[in-house]
Structure 1
Amino acid sequence: MVTATDLLERARRAAEEVADPELPMLTLADLGVLRGVEVGEDGAVTVALTPTYTGCPAMAEMRADVARRLRAAGFAEVRVTTVLDPPWTTDWITPEGRRKLAACGIAPPGPAPARRPQGPVPLTLSPTRRTVPCPRCGSADTEEISRFSATACKALRRCRSCLEPFEHVKDI
């Protein structure tokens, strides 16, 4: 007999295996955008996703991929919701996700900037200076070439030591 716990585990495993469309070396679980999976009494699965930033163009693809994966796992009724509060932070990327990014030559983000739970967003008028080590040689002597790379959540950098360009997931 299949229990509610069995169904939930099967749904969770299926959702956790979905790859991010922009960073396919990561799953949505690795990236921390998979916020929750529930199975209702009627067998319908509801999955909650939080975008890396408001307006993320990959969200439509993420929702479709999650729904497709869950239907392939035998769930006929699937709902994918978007959760905006609390907002996603790079701190939600798992240690395994950070390892996978570095292994693919993408510098993982550092700790996310401190946020206040309530009140105004602090405004920084000068550029934030941060050392981003090269994922290829480990040198801290790197420079930002472009604030935006292949996706809005990554910047393009270059190592001054090995001269290799690399992407960096921005600290959000």
Structure 2
Amino acid sequence: MARAGRGERGGQGLARVAAVVRAGAAPLWWLGVLAAGAGVCVPGLTGRRIGVLAGAVAFLVAAAVVAVVRRRRHAALAEAASRAGRYDILQDRAVTVREWRRGRRWWLLLAFLVALGSAWVIPAAGGMLLAGCGAGLWLKSAWFRRRFERDALLWVPVGKGAAEYRTTGVAAGR
């Protein structure tokens, strides 16, 4: 009997690495923009001007940190990637994004509510921080595609924890 996430003949379900990295970018960005927009309407304890300036700094710092963190890990996994098996099942990008978002919808809602609630103290800063995290994920995904997916696409097994990457394409399994 086949296990969950595995094909009939021992293959594994594989999701595109760039799609997994980018899956959280849009919800974090839009929820952050929405929270920041709503936060500007509240005067807060520090005032709107300080809140927006602190939010701008938080946006830039969050985008830079999220874009840079774990680059060495991605590089090491990409260099050690093996060729995908014959019976591995490649998951569509839309399915990957939908499953990622569905599995983390409560965390996204909680992050939105925290960003929205922080507007009572520092207006717009929490939302801009959340939007910065989304922008950082988008930047990391773009970096990943430029650096590693020129000749071969990289895939990660679907499920908990990515211990290895697999490749498909013209230059797969070099």
TM-score under structure 1 length normalisation: 0.27
More strand by share: 1
More helix by share: 2
RCO higher in structure (CA 8 A, sep ≥6):
2
TM-score under structure 2 length normalisation: 0.27
